[in-house]
Structure 1
Amino acid sequence: MQRLLTDHKTITKTRLEDIPSAPLGEGQARLKLDSFALTSNNVTYAASGFAIGYWNFFPTGIEGQGLVPVWGTAEVVESDSAELVVGTRLYGFYPLAEELVIRPQPDGHGGFVDAASHRAELPAVYNRYTPVRSGNPADDHMRALLQPLLATSYLLFDWLMDNACFGAEQIIIGSASSKTGLGLCKYLAEPAERTYKVIGLTSEGNRSFVEGLGACDQVLTYDEIAQLPTVASVYVDMSGNAQVKALVHSTLGAHLKHSSAVGISHWDQSQPKIKVEGVKPQFFFAPAQIAKRREEWGPGMMEKQITAAWKRLAEDASSWLDVKVHTGIGSAAGVYGALAEGTANPRDGHIITL
């Protein structure tokens, strides 16, 4: 079995490793990956591996080396579980490797959870595996690329609506060219009657791409932050660039009502020691919003909203997404490296097939 290890301290440093497949224990099942997506989301998982606990999902047994989590589809190729039969295909959270062994338990909603002891205290949303039909690989690819990212986008939108946008007249999205960023821009633009404007921040190189989405009332480059209107604002930071965040805060001052940290795609510029003016940035943890809505609406309702939302945006994905398919775990190193180094084209959606 091959897997791509990532250095905990230098997340651009990876190495391919061959290891023997572990024999199954009682009640376990072996899942062989068919395909998975690589996006800036995976860079965030690596950059916040300790702070949020992403390194804990798939222990490597090697000090200082981790497996970056990915979203994808796998097939059960061996099972000692009465709950999960060979041939079942499951969409969910996997290591950047060719296979995963889980201890499946039914979740009561037609899916399964990995009941492995080391995952018991980790966020439930990452432990669920959903059966999917065999069929067009393109469906697997779009699901892996868009569902996790646009789910976060929609949860951010729902959270903002839940908080009446903190009274903001404008919502500023940092790294608006990212899939999660563009998704949030599009969801924010949907309400027919809204009291806020959508401002997208991006690099000069990605400006035309973000403008072409048609979701932002205004697009500014990072060099133009000083032009932000000084009105009641919310800043949603997808990149984690500390200098950009500090400039947004200093430009808006007391007009900034809330500052939310979501992603760390600009992980190498995060510099957590840089102080910012005004409100203290707060990390947005998507599973917390899911848990809140489950309590308020009952099980399954939020999931239905998320599914409908990401599929709605996926209908016109061809206008802003080019799917690039790569073969073999070995090809993941270059793709992940480009994402981590910030050189990837924002239009590209990368799939690794095995």
Structure 2
Amino acid sequence: MTASNQTFVVDQANLDQCTTLEMPQVNADQLVEGEALLTVDHFAFTANNITYAALGKRFKYWDFFPAEAPWGQIPVWGFADVAASKHPEIKTGSRVYGYLPMANQLVVKPGKVSKSSFVDTSEHRQHLALAYNQYLFTDSDPAYRPEHEALQMLLRPLLITSFLLDDFLATKDFFGADQIILTSASSKTALGLAFMLSHQRKTRGKPLTITALTSAGNLSFVESLGYYDRVVSYDDIDQLDSNQSTVSVDFAGNGEVLTALHKHFKDRMLFSSLVGAAHWDQRGGDKDLPGAKPEVFFAPGYWEVRGKELGNAALMQRFAELWAPLVASVESWMKITTVEGQEAVRKAYLDTLHGNIQPDQGLILKP
């Protein structure tokens, strides 16, 4: 029986439809000069990956690991090992962290190789954001700890977005608002932002009220973390003080919730940021909203802007200073579950798609 590269795919137009394709396995002798073969070890799967799928066409997430229509490969963050290399600077056996397909293998064309990383310069990835094309060598990553691989996969991509949002809002002095509301407040990206806002409040000297909007079922969990000043269910938006000047950061992608917020605060909604699509199936709502016009926040684009202003090393150092205390906090409440095999991967995907994963659960998948 010929070994295969099992590749999990979803229908780009109907995310409920998914399957595993048996693709030919790549062998070392099939590589051309300058290529390397990665064997995927394990990866995280969160609501963030559902956002990649829901916004796949708009933000070109389907382009990273192309599949034959109508299928698409959802990108994931994880660890892989160099199984074979025909690149002089890439050593077989090296372990890397980065953007991977939900598959057993990935062929890359390393460029811009340094002691710490390389960039996949494959032709089909040239038009895509650099942040997603870079692979870090674990043996030279100062933040890497083998025992923290699960937390790195689960949190680092999300917390980079949290960090960049925090930085963006701080540079704007939070648009002069007295309150910041985070929807889908139990999502890991929202929790990361809430922690950073709370953690830095004293040094910033700005008494910004941090308000969580979440489902009734997650109220007690969100309250227990202590990251938010106020925790409110979606059903109780009308209980908020409509005169309080407000910034909204929408991680839910739920048009009805966003509409309710804007209509409640009206011209007191000073800024409205659209980040994720955790509630991917409930988008909609009114298009003509009172208050500030909602703006999409694209983290890789903002990283490139701030990287040019501050230098990438300085920006990464700022992130590292927040990463350590947040990981210490998250370790106290996150329950990590590892599942293995294609049927388990399928179930984990569908559970995440339909919101059946508890907010304190972290899923690690092995293909």
TM-score, normalised relative to structure 2: 0.93
Q: Give the one of 98, 101, 104 matched to 1:98.
A: 104
Q: Does 1:79 align with 2:92?
A: no
Cα deviation for residue 136 of structure 1 reads: 6.9
Q: Residue 347 of structure 1 corresponds to which residue in structure 2? A: 360
Among 69, 73, 93, the alignment partner of 1:67 is: 73
Distance in 2 between the 1:95 and 1:273 partners?
35
Q: 2:25 aligns with which of 2, 21, 26?
A: 21
**What does the per-residue CA deviation read over 1:268-319, in whole Å, with 9 as the maximum and x for residues that have no partner?**
0012764432321110011122112211112322122223322320112133
CA contact 1:233–1:258 (8 Å) conserved in 2: yes
Residue 175 of structure 2 corresponds to: 166
Alignment match, 1:285: 298
CA contact (8 A) 2:256 2:286 kept: no
Structure 1 alignment gaps of length 5 or more: none
* Structure 2 residue identity aligned to 1:174: T
Query: Are 1:179 and 2:188 counterparts?
Result: yes
Q: Which AA in structure 2 matches 1:215?
A: Y
Counterpart in the other structure of 2:121? 115
Aligned to 2:212: 200
1:54 to 48, 61, 66: 61
Residue of structure 2 equivalent to 1:12: 16
- Could you tell me which of 244, 251, 264 is aligned with 1:251? 264
The aligned amino acid for 1:196 is L
* Native 8 Å contact 2:180 2:210 kept in 1: yes
Q: In the aligned structure 1, how far is the partner of 2:164 from the partner of 2:301?
A: 10
CA distance in 1, matches of 2:320, 2:22: 36
Larger CA deviation: 314-323 vs 76-85 = 314-323
Contact 2:180 2:248 in 1 (8 A): yes
Which one of 296, 301, 318 corresponds to residue 331 of structure 2?
318
Whether the 8 Å CA contact 1:29–1:84 is kept in 2: the answer is yes
- Which SS does the other structure have where 2:337 is aligned? strand
After the TM superposition, which of the residue ranges 179-188 and 306-315 deviates more from structure 2? 306-315
Identity of aligned pairs, percent? 38
Question: Is 1:9–1:64's contact at 8 Å kept on the other side of the alignment?
Answer: yes
Tell me by how many angstroms 1:24 deviates: 1.7
- Preserved contact between residue 250 and residue 274 of structure 2 (Cα < 8 Å): yes
What SS is found at the alignment partner of 1:49?
A: coil
2:230 to 215, 218, 230: 218
Deviates more, 1:89-98 or 1:184-193: 184-193
The Cα shift of 1:18 comes to 1.1
Query: After the TM superposition, which of the residue ranges 320-329 and 126-135 deviates more from structure 2?
Result: 126-135
8 Å CA contact retained: 1:150, 1:180:
yes
TM-score by length of 1: 0.96
Query: Hey, what's the Cα distance between the residues in 1 that align with 2:123 and 2:232?
Result: 47
Deviations 1:209-249 (A, max 9, x none): 11011011111000011112221110000010000000000
1:148 is matched with: 157
Q: Where does residue 234 of structure 1 map in the other structure?
A: 247
- Specify the SS of the correspondent of 1:319: coil
More off after superposition, 162-171 vs 291-300: 291-300
Gaps of 5+ in 2: none
Q: Distance in 2 between matches of 1:106 and 1:286?
A: 22
The corresponding residue for 2:284 is: 271
Residue 108 of structure 1 and its aligned partner are, at CA, apart by: 4.4
Q: Distance in 2 between matches of 1:329 and 1:124?
A: 30
- In structure 2, do the counterparts of structure 1 residues 341 and 275 end up closer, same or farther at CA, with 3 Å as the change threshold? farther
Amino acid at match of 1:91: Y
Alpha-carbon spacing, 1:338–1:146, altered in 2? closer, same or farther (3 Å): same
Q: Deviations over 1:34-78 (max 9, x none)?
A: 110000000000000001110011111x11110000000000001
Q: Does 1:261 align with 2:274?
A: yes
The reply to whether residue 132 of structure 1 matches residue 138 of structure 2 is yes
RMSD: 1.6
3-state SS of 2:223 partner:
helix
1:320 deviation in Å? Answer: 2.7
- Give the letter for the 1:257 counterpart: L
Q: Distance in 1 between matches of 2:324 and 2:308?
A: 24
Partner of 1:44: 51
**Match of 1:316, SS?**
helix
Instruction: Report what 2:39 is aligned to.
Output: 32
Quick check: 2:182–2:251 contact (8 Å CA) kept in 1? yes
Amino acid at match of 2:42: S
Q: Give the deviation of 1:260 after TM superposition.
A: 0.4
